[in-house]
Each structure stands twice: as structure tokens, then as C-alpha cells.
Amino acid sequence: MMWAIILHGGAKEIEPEEAEAHRHGCLKALAAGRSVLQSNGSAADAVEAAIRELESDPTFNAGYGSALNADGEVEMCSALMEGGELNVGGVSIIQGVRHPISVARAMLHETEILLSGPGARRFAAERGLELCDPADLIPPKEQKAKQTGTHDTVGCIALDMSKRLAVGTSTGGLDGSPVGRVGDSPQPGCGYYVDDKVGAVAFSGDGEHIARKMLAARVMHRLSADEPEGALQDALDHVAAIGGEAGGIVLTPAGEFGWRHNSRDFAVAFQNSDRDSPEAFTRKGDAS
């Protein structure tokens, strides 16, 4: 029985001195997701486990270490989707929760697909999820990797042994953005999508450009007829045509991986049940 997992730590510029932190963080997150899949856990649980690790690592712009908005506050967006029943859970501009991905996970079986702001935090509290002071998500400066690019949403896709696919995204948004701004990451068809019959995709990058071009929807439409990287390249051509930068990952129901970016760098890690060890790439041209 096959399993597979791919994740990314953001489409951005990664300076040489930041490469190891990105590689280490991606591999740690991959290990968390892999361990769920190897124990016959669900794809959704694997995605949540992997993204919780990325949200705990200040190297990445998600959870602890998120970008700060124009008021110097952290507002986060996250989504999780399952490809069988097309269950969708999302939160946007949520504050004061440790793991937005777990709030999105808890939303999966609700009628609503997306809760915002105080309503999202109230939902998290009602579900007993971990709350915190919003300021506790801002690490001391020396712990935070330099954000040389602003496009560093994290994302993960998993295929479990029951052939179920799930995808998740999590982001602190863009540095200095207006209070209340929402990008592509919690919007299905923009920053992510999954259908067990077709495959799954997650993007990182310029949220407004990704949403305008509905990048995830474009990839899904092409995936039945095209290779993962061809479908991703077509989407990137569309976003580049309006001046946008992005990176995307794909996983098909057959376990084929794809990843592509027009940002300078893109931190990615992946593994499946046929590989003894994971592969990870951080800066352009680097290999694990």
C-alpha cells in the first residue's frame, strides 16, 4: 500500500545562510506527516501534523514567526481540504491561536467553509484548540529568518494508504499589509484544491495575483490531461503574465509529485513509500 507526501516552506528568496534552517524545518515537518501515513493515518491528519511543525518554526511565515501587518500584528490564514468528500475548512485573519491549521482541520465537517477574525478564534476556543496571546506569535528578532521575500505561505499534500488525498495551507500573509487583508491561501481554487480523482495542488506566492488567476483551479483543470509540472508551469505562466510570483506543489492519485516556481527559490521536501529517504530542495539548484 502506497503513501506519499510533499510540502513546501514558501516561494521566496532564501539566502545561503538561511538554507539549512529551511531544509531542516521542511524535513522535520515531512517526518511528522510521514509518521502519520506510515501508521495508516489519514491524509488530513498527516497534512495537519506536517503543517503544525512548520507553524512552530520561526523560519517560516506561518504560525509562530508570521509576517506582521501594518499595525505590527499577526493575522493568519489557513485551509485544509479532503479530496474524497471535498470537505473544506478554512480560517482567515485569525489571531491568537497557536495552530491555524488545526482550526481549519476542525472546520472540515462544518457547513461553513471559512470563518474570519474573531469568529474564527471563538470557534477555536469552543473546540478547545490552543489559544495564545497574539503577541506570543512574534519571536525575538534573532530567531526569525530574514524575510527576503514576502511570499512564504507553507503548504502540504498527502496521499494515504486508503488512497485519500488532502491538502493544507497556512500563512502569516504579507509584511505591512492592511489590517484584514486576505490572500489566496484560505480560498479554494486559488491557493489550493484537491479532488481524489484528479490530484491536489497548493500554492505560495503573491496572493492577489494567484487569486486573480485562480491558479489552483487552473492546475486542477489541466491535471487530468497533463503532467503535474506541465499543469504547474501553465499556471505560473498565467501568474507571471500579470506580474505575479508563485511556487506550487502537486500530488496525483497515482503518487506522482510535481513542484515548480517562478520565485527565485522554493523550499520543498517530498517522500513516498518507495523511497527510503526524503528529498529536499531549498535554494535554486540545491539538492539534499
Which SS3 state, helix, strand or coil, does residue 205 take?
strand
Which residue in the set 56, 69, 92, 171 belongs to the binding site for ligand GLY (CB under 6 A)? 171
Closest CB to ligand GLY among residues 29, 93: 93
> Contact between 174 and ligand GLY (CB under 6 A)?
yes
- Using the contact rule CB under 6 A, the part of the chain among 12-20, 89-97, 103-111, 167-175 near ligand GLY is 167-175
> Contact between 204 and ligand GLY (CB under 6 A)?
yes
Do the Cβ atoms of 99 and 172 come closer than 8 Å? no
> Contact between 207 and ligand GLY (CB under 6 A)?
yes
> Contact between 183 and ligand GLY (CB under 6 A)?
yes
What distance in Å separates the CA atoms of residue 176 and residue 63, rounded to the nearest whole number?
16
Do the Cβ atoms of 100 and 117 come closer than 8 Å? no
Contacts of 209 (CB under 8 A, 6+ apart): 239, 242, 243, 244, 245, 246
Please indicate whether residue 59 is annotated as part of the active site. Answer: no
**Least spacing, CB of residue 153 vs ligand GLY, in Å:** 4
Q: Say which of 150, 153, 171, 252 is annotated catalytic.
A: 153
- Using the contact rule CB under 6 A, the part of the chain among 49-57, 107-115, 170-178, 264-272 near ligand GLY is 170-178
> Contact between 66 and ligand GLY (CB under 6 A)?
no
- Using the contact rule CB under 6 A, the part of the chain among 104-112, 117-125, 181-189, 255-263 near ligand GLY is 181-189
Q: Strand pairing partners for 194?
A: 200
What letters, b where the CB count within 10 A reaches 16 and e where it falls short, cover 265-279?
Answer: bbbbbbbbbeeeebe
Closest CB to ligand GLY among residues 159, 216: 216
What letters, b where the CB count within 10 A reaches 16 and e where it falls short, cover 185-221?
Answer: bbbbbbbbbbbbebbbbbbbbbbbbbbebbbbebbbe
**Least spacing, CB of residue 154 vs ligand GLY, in Å:** 10
What distance in Å separates the CA atoms of residue 24 and residue 30, rounded to the nearest whole number?
10
From the centroid of its chain, how far is CA 89? 13
What would the grid cell of residue 192 be? 489550493
115-154 residues near ligand GLY, rule: CB under 6 A: 151, 153
Q: Which residues bind ligand GLY (CB under 6 A)?
A: 151, 153, 171, 173-174, 183-185, 204-205, 207
Residues annotated as catalytic (active site), given as ranges: 153
